[in-house]
Amino acid sequence: MTVCPELELIENFYDAEDRSRFLAYFLRRHPWPDNRYTFGGRQFVLPRLQTWHADAGIRYSYSNNLLVTRPWTASLLAIRAEVESRLAYRFNSVLVNFYRDGDDFVGWHADNEPELGESPLIASLSFGAARPLAFRHKISGETGRLVLPTGSLLLMRPAFQSQWQHSVPQDRGISAARINLTFRKVCQPTDRVNV
Ligand SMILES: O=C(O)CCC(=O)C(=O)O
Ligand SMILES: [Fe+2]
């Protein structure tokens, strides 16, 4: 099995007490929207629930959809502060994914939108059911999997997005829910050079 040098897993970033507290928050209190949306006059159903939170003025289009920006919740702010302090790196946004069970998934993609700049570091925190992150090299086609346990923080180093694609595959054997937060640093529109 391929080991990807651009991934670093920090297990037990949160201990058992914090994990169950945050999992309970996301399952019971987080403001989840409907997963059906219309794009280009067609209806789509996202195979998971998702919210996007960012500092004022940050816009980001993920898979060509302009995400609705929601305010930070107290729990998200607390988690961001802890991740930033551990990594000595600042993030201005987070994408929160709720995989209700093994039917929910995210397909193959790379988080390499231009808004993320040349070298995006993404920090990915997981709670709940352990699910593997599958990755495949864009040129060699090498593939691998890394299981992301509850309370773990995965660092996706900058070259991960340019060289690899990733997914969280469907697994009908899983009935438990999983929450994933990907903290990102999106360049402000003013950071960009207009040509
Ligand atoms: O759920 C995960 O571990 C990954 C989610 C992901 O790839 C994304 O939000 O871009
Ligand atoms: Fe991703």
Phi then psi for 157, rounded to 5 degrees? Answer: -70, 160
Cα 49–Cα 91–Cα 180 angle in degrees, nearest 5: 25
Phi and psi angles of residue 122, each rounded to the nearest 5 degrees, phi first: -120, 130
CB 115 within 8 A of CB 180: no
| Residue 2 resides in a domain | no
Mutation test of ligand 1: which of 52, 112, 166 has the most ligand atoms closer than 8 Å to its C-beta? 166
CB contact at 8 A, 93 and 51: no
pLDDT in tens, 19-34: 999 999 999 999 999 9
Distance CA 45, CA 37 (A): 6
Which atom of ligand 1 lies closest to the CA of 133? 3
106 Cα to the center of ligand 1, angstroms = 7
Q: Is residue 180 within 6 Å of ligand 1 at its C-beta?
A: yes
Q: Which atom of ligand 1 is nearest to the CA of 122?
A: 10
Tell me how far the alpha carbon of residue 45 lies from the centroid of ligand 2, in angstroms: 18
Residue 50 falls inside a structural domain: yes
Residue nearest to atom 7 of ligand 1 (CA): 167
Is 25 inside a domain boundary?
A: yes
What's the gap in Å between 125 CA and the centre of ligand 2?
Answer: 12
pLDDT reading at 186 higher than 90: no
The CATH number of the domain holding residue 70 is: 2.60.120.590
Instruction: Compute, in angstroms, the gap from residue 59 CA to the centroid of ligand 2.
Output: 17
Please indicate, yes or no, if residue 159 is contained in any of the structural domains: yes
Is residue 146 in a domain? yes
Give 18's DSSP letter.
H
What would the pLDDT profile of 86-102 be if each residue is shown by its tens digit?
A: 999 999 999 999 999 99
At 27-73, the pLDDT tens digits run: 999 999 999 988 788 888 999 999 999 998 777 665 545 578 899 99
Q: Is the ipTM of this complex over 0.90?
A: yes
Task: Count how many domains the chain has.
Answer: 1
Give residue 43's domain range: 7-190
Please state, in angstroms and as integers, the Cα–Cα distance from residue 169 to each residue in 59, 132, 141, 190, following that order.
28, 8, 17, 36
Q: Is residue 1 part of a domain?
A: no
User: DSSP labels for 39-88?
Assistant: ETTEEEE-SSEEEEEE-TT---EETTEEPPEEPPPHHHHHHHHHHHHHHT
C-alpha of residue 111 to centroid of ligand 2, in Å? 5
